[in-house]
Amino acid sequence: MPAPEHEQPLPRIQIGAPAPMIDCGRYPAKRTVGDELTVGADIFRDGHDVLGAIVRYRAPGARAWREAPMRRVDAHVDGDRWEGSFVVDCGGRWSWTIEAWTDAFATWRDELRRKVAAGQSELSGELSEGAVLLERATQRAQRTPEHKLIARAAKTLADPAKPADARCEAALDMRLLEAVQRHPDRGDATTLERRLQVDVDRERARFGSWYELFPRSWGGLTGVADQVPELAELGFDVLYLPPVHPIGATNRKGASGALVAAAGDPGSPWAIGDESGGHTALHPQLGSFEDFDALVATANDHGIEIALDFAIQCSADHPWLTEHPEWFHRRPDGTLKYAENPPKTYQDIYNVNFDTDDWRALWEALLDVVRFWASRGVTIFRVDNPHTKPLAFWEWLIAKTREEHPDVLFLAEAFTRAAMMRQLAKVGFNQSYTYFTWKSSRHELTEYVTELASSGMQDYFRPNFFVNTPDILTDELQHGGPPKFASRLVLGATLSPTYGIYSGFESFERVAAQPGSEEYQSSEKYEIKQRSLDGPLLALISRINAIRRDNPALQQLDNIRFLDAENDALIAYAKRHAGNTIIVVVTLDPANAQEGIVVVPFELGLPPVFTVSDLLSGESFDWRMGRNFVRLDPYRVAHLLRVSP
């Protein structure tokens, strides 16, 4: 075998399985401002040498790198997993890497310690080696607080006149080891082959309470602005508006989606565009741009953000169909192809053709739409059906948008295959709709939320647990009655840091268009309703939103631990964060009382006996590690228990 061709020996230190790392570093992980990012890796080398390691990190726009120490986290089983952490204190894209080296002094010290413990007395050779290592450390520690301690120890080890016991005692002083390790010799340092990144968003990307409404059912934009103070009192952080643009007349859908609209039918807001404008125009019946700006200002004054629907589709009357006919699908006979999702058909909507030869202009036009509304104060875009558009387009558009508007967030409304939902999150979407809407049993909920919180998805996929939408009225809401609405509210708001409701939920709207359908009877998508904030569930909504804001444990996803309730009609889980512990128990049976034993495991780190306060009822109970009796019924669907400090 020929000799190696490398000019220098290859590194002997191995750094593997760094985390968080998404698709081998192709995409950044996600965090929010103020989070402590914990990074880890398997770090080892041949032999028995002691290693040292740090995580090096750099904030967005910074030139200098900072360092944080790493420690072995499984040393008790002689493992090689190391972890370190740092706080991401500003938004943007951070960079980080790991550097590891052989700690020659710690290696020598460990060998000396074992020889002393074994009773070996002739250690002059070993002490001479230590003296050399300390002399080198003395040079590295020049003009530092540790210099004097290291220099004194080096002198002691090099003095043959001193007793061997005294020299060994000086060498094994723990303060000396700590001092030398502050000034390590990194001569054989190895780093990760590529730097990794983490996108840091503002807090709203992780935590928030959403309310969705159709402005036309609330008296237009000024009528919506009048509701903002009450929405703020109810604890909502985000007000989400479906498309507010002009609606086409050609093939306009009628009431309940009828193919022929009657006189006065307003049409679907998702059939965007008429002769007055398209995606950058306002429906005249909703108000003026002055009204829109006033709504944004009022919302901001009350701590509420405006989220706007971004739907990449056009009515037959949208200006783009005449200005850019090449942007749309045409069949061989020249007819336009309207949108379909068989068996659903959308005769009033035409999708754009991302395969057009003029795709660059199309991309730029869509970016201009987002820029337009972001410049008017829209900070969140709920994107309609992003999974039917190219992933490369989304990666480009989101990156370009955030160059100019770094606080803008994107929510993916993609009820589709799991792989596509995950990939949309990877390419840049800050939040995602989920399958929660259809997860109803204890097993389904436990399995799904565990996947979201601890499978690796938690590093890039942020769920938004909408309990209903204008398109989705689930079977359990149709037939479960008010208790099921209350329990689903508690589940959505406590399982996920971000959740939302569509107006009508608070009034228990639950009549389907027909048996087996998830469409609402007399759907608001096709007609104007007379809405007001007076539903009987609002008191519970307000209380839960206040509880979420007051308890940091409910503002996190990856801290959830499911508890055994010994009854499949009950689901129980605990969340802990920053000294705050919440235990939630919810009934999944809307019709009957259910009893069970909730088992609190010792791994939660709670005292043997502790007091819990029910944040919904105000009652207090004595709980303990192990088995605790609970009883819930349709009039009391949940316990939200805060563990007393």
Say if residues 477 and 469 touch (Cβ distance below 8 Å): no
Q: How far is CA 368 from CA 19, 362, 376, in A?
A: 36, 10, 13
Peptide bond into 18 cis (omega under 30): no
Report how far residue 220's alpha carbon sits from residue 217's, in angstroms, rounded to the nearest whole number: 7
Active-site option among 103, 237, 384, 589:
384
Q: Is 111 a catalytic residue?
A: no
What's the CA gap between 37 and 558, in Å, rounded? 13
Q: Are 305 and 299 in contact (CB under 8 A)?
A: yes
Cα dihedral across residues 283, 243, 205, 509: positive or negative: positive
Measured CA to CA, the distance from residue 89 to residue 92 in angstroms comes to 10
Distance between CA atoms of 419 and 436, rounded to whole angstroms? Answer: 16
**Using CB atoms within 10 A of its CB, is residue 227 exposed (0-12), middle (13-18) or buried (19+)?**
buried
User: Radius of gyration over alpha carbons of the chain, in Å?
Assistant: 31
Q: In the chain, count H helices and then E strands.
A: 14, 28
| Dist. CA 9–CA 4, nearest whole Å | 9
Strand order in the sheet with 305-310: 431-432, 409-413, 380-384, 305-310, 238-241, 208-212, 498-502, 464-466
Active-site annotation holds for 413: yes
Give which of 308, 299, 306, 307 is closest to 232, Cα–Cα. Answer: 299
At 490, give phi and psi (nearest 5°): -60, -45
Burial degree of 237 (CB within 10 A; 0-12, 13-18, 19+): buried
How many angstroms separate the CA atoms of 476 and 90, rounded? 42
Catalytic: which of 126, 212, 413, 589? 413
Which residue type occupies 13? I
Is residue 435 packed enough to be buried (19+ CB in 10 Å), middle (13-18) or exposed (0-12)? middle
At 555, list the tokens. 């503002």
Q: What is the DSSP string of 98-148?
A: EEEEE-HHHHHHHHHHHHHHTT----HHHHHHHHHHHHHHHHHTTTSTTHH
The Cα diameter of the chain in Å comes to 109
Output the six-digit token pair for 429.
């979407």
List the structure tokens of 460: 């890039």
Q: Which residues pair with 627 in a beta bridge?
A: 599
Euclidean distance between CA atoms 487 and 637, whole angstroms: 6
Element spanning 375, H or E: helix 359-375
**Residue pair 409/415 in contact by the 8 Å Cβ criterion:** no
Q: Are the C-beta atoms of residues 34 and 72 closer than 8 Å to each other? A: no
Q: Could you give the residue numbers annotated as active site?
A: 384, 413
